[in-house]
Amino acid sequence: MSKQTGVAAFIADVKARAAKTVAEARHTQEFILEIGDAYAFIRLADWRRPRQFLAQLAGDPPIRFGTKGFRRALVDDQNPARHYTAFVFVGYWLPIPLAFLVLWAWEILGFLRYRGKWSQGDMRCGRIGIGHGRQVRRQGATVLADLIARDLDGRAQG
């Protein structure tokens, strides 16, 4: 039996974490903090050390899924789940206008950091993530896996 990778593994892991959140009667906030750390290396405990915090955000998170099965229009690096999850996190915590401001600021900084490389895929992924974060805030952790399957899963593409 082969180990799942890509979007299938991402969906399965999100589904398992959401089910555990519900089974343990934990708040959705804890779920968002958990996936933010696991998939996007967002560790709010480190925000007082800005250099370390920003380096983590730009680095590889503890869990990576690769690109297999993700919609091609959303992929611009080897771990689209990282960028998506970061903006689920942002969309969960911030009002939509502020969340979009963060998305644009992050991409502009990336444009400068990567010497003029603009990522339309990251912008698409970020917009989807923000919307999903808002839905998780309203409906709870268990909706996220289905949202990922609907909007990120590209396995049905030709």
Q: Is 158 among the domain residues?
A: no
Q: Is 157 among the domain residues?
A: no
Q: Is 156 among the domain residues?
A: no
Q: Is the pLDDT of residue 59 over 90?
A: no
Total of domains in the chain = 1
Q: Is 1 among the domain residues?
A: no
Q: Is 28 among the domain residues?
A: yes
Q: Is 139 among the domain residues?
A: yes
Q: Is 138 among the domain residues?
A: yes
Cβ proximity of 130 and 4 under 8 Å: no
The number of angstroms, rounded, from the C-alpha of 66 to the middle of its chain's C-alpha atoms is: 13
Which residue range forms the structural domain that includes residue 13? 6-150
What is the arithmetic mean of pLDDT over 32-56? 88
Return the number of other C-beta atoms located less than 10 Å from residue 97's C-beta: 7
Contacts of residue 20, Cβ cutoff 8 Å, sequence gap at least 6? none
Q: Is the pLDDT of residue 158 over 60?
A: no
Whether the predicted model's global pTM rises above the 0.85 cut: yes
- pLDDT tens digits, 69-98: 999 999 988 999 999 999 999 999 999 999
Q: Is 64 among the domain residues?
A: yes
